[in-house]
């Protein structure tokens, strides 16, 4: 495997959608543009889920119209079904993401559908995307634990990930939604999925509820994964996990990877400055330890 790790920046979508502070459209556009200038290659720009369910991202079309797209940078958007896909395509999206869970209990609470029903909803999206030449990323949440059912069998994680890959998702992001994973469990889960889905088609997405996210990523990189999700300033968190402290901060991840001798192509100082800027917009301290340390240096 190459000594390069691609970071998928999910702050503008997964980060902001769970923040209580409403962010102006102009600031969302500025956030994506700032991130584009740091060297990131994948920035999840927004979500075309119904504004009723995700009011923070009701301005998805306006955001997509306002951002300055850079060559070599992808701007995927989340879509739940064909209606969301139609809206995303009308807004100019050329990459989308779909989502489900490895836990039936979580999926029922989060989407009012079983795992099979949720996949049925977006299966037509993948069929249309193939015709349209649109790449589709898949998310599997609750891969290391569920707030409702507790343990999630590895076999369920593998089954759902393999199904998304078979449907045509070019990449499957394996998400520890409530941040309960530890390194050995994360490695075991990743390798189990990699037995059925090529490692090159897998990504990891860890929340930092118990402070394990960086260790989990490091262990999974040693196991062979080369794509990791993170959110600038550690924005977000899971509304279903009490005390969840947010996504893994992109700045902290880049700092760790640089220390491991792994290239990300990202300007850490520019990323940290963007994190501090966003935290100020949200009216709270940045969730990035590296961002705070660089500011104090």
- Rounded Cα distance between 222 and 226, Å, is 9
Task: For the chain, list the strands marked E by DSSP.
Answer: 6-9, 42-43, 46-47, 77-78, 95-101, 135-141, 171-176, 202-206, 227-230
DSSP code for 14: I
- In tens, the pLDDT along 19-39 reads 888 999 999 999 999 999 999
Region 100-115 average pLDDT? 90
- In tens, the pLDDT along 174-228 reads 999 999 999 999 999 999 999 999 999 999 999 998 999 999 999 999 999 999 9
Beginning with the edge strand found earlier in the chain, give each strand of the sheet holding 77-78 in spatial order: 42-43, 6-9, 227-230, 202-206, 171-176, 135-141, 95-101, 77-78, 46-47
- Rounded Cα distance between 10 and 231, Å, is 5
Share of the chain above pLDDT 90, in %: 84
Give me the residues paired with residue 228 across strands. 7, 204
- Rounded Cα distance between 296 and 66, Å, is 33
Give me the residue spans of the domains in the chain. Answer: 6-296
**Which listed residue (146, 169, 220, 238) is catalytic?**
238
169 as an active site residue: the answer is: no
Q: Give yes or no for a contact between 246 and 270, defined as CB atoms under 8 angstroms apart.
A: no
Query: Cα torsion at 271, 9, 290, 280 (round to 10°)?
Result: 70
Q: Please tell me the least confidently modeled range out of 77-86, 107-116, 242-251, 264-273.
A: 242-251
Q: Give yes or no for a contact between 252 and 288, defined as CB atoms under 8 angstroms apart.
A: yes
Give me the residues paired with residue 43 across strands. 9
Q: Please tell me the least confidently modeled range out of 39-43, 74-78, 114-118.
A: 114-118
CATH T-level topology, domain 6-296: TIM Barrel (3.20.20)
Provide the pLDDT for residue 108.
Answer: 87
Provide the pLDDT for residue 1.
Answer: 41
Residue 47 — left, alpha, or beta (φ > 0 → left; ψ -120 to 50 → alpha)? beta
Asked whether the predicted pLDDT for residue 244 surpasses 70, the reply is: no
Provide the pLDDT for residue 43.
Answer: 98
- In tens, the pLDDT along 63-107 reads 999 999 999 999 999 999 999 999 999 999 999 999 999 999 998
The dihedral through the CA atoms of 296, 245, 277, 6 has a sign that is: positive
Provide the pLDDT for residue 109.
Answer: 85
- In tens, the pLDDT along 154-168 reads 999 999 999 999 999
Give me the residues paired with residue 95 across strands. 135
Question: What's the mean pLDDT when you consider all of the chain?
Answer: 94
Give me the residues paired with residue 46 across strands. 77
């Amino acid at each position: 495997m190459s000594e390069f790790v691609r970071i998928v920046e999910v702050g503008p979508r997964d980060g902001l959608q769970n923040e209580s502070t409403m962010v102006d459209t102009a600031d969302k556009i500025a956030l994506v543009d700032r991130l584009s200038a740091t060297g990131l290659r994948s920035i999840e720009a927004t979500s075309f889920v119904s504004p009723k369910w995700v009011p923070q991202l009701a301005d998805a079309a306006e955001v997509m119209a306002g951002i300055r797209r850079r060559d070599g940078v992808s701007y995927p958007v989340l879509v739940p079904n064909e209606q969301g896909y139609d809206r995303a395509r009308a807004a100019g999206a050329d990459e989308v993401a779909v989502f489900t869970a490895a836990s039936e209990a979580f999926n029922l609470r989060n989407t009012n559908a079983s795992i099979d029903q949720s996949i049925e909803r977006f299966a037509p999206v993948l069929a249309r995307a193939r015709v349209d030449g649109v790449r589709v990323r898949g998310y599997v949440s609750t891969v290391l634990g569920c707030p409702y059912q507790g343990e999630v069998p590895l076999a369920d994680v593998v089954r759902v990930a393999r199904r998304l890959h078979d449907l045509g998702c070019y990449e499957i992001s394996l998400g520890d939604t409530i941040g309960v994973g530890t390194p050995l469990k994360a490695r075991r889960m990743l390798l189990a999925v990699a037995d059925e889905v090529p490692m090159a088609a897998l990504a990891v997405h860890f929340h930092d509820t118990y402070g394990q996210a960086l260790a989990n990523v490091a262990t999974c990189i040693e196991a062979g994964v080369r794509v990791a999700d993170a959110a600038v300033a550690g924005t977000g968190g899971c509304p279903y996990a009490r005390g969840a402290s947010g996504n893994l901060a992109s700045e902290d991840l880049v700092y760790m990877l640089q220390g491991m001798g792994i290239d990300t192509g990202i300007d850490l100082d520019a990323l940290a400055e963007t994190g501090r800027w966003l935290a100020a917009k949200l009216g709270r301290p940045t969730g990035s330890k590296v961002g705070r340390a660089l500011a104090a240096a």
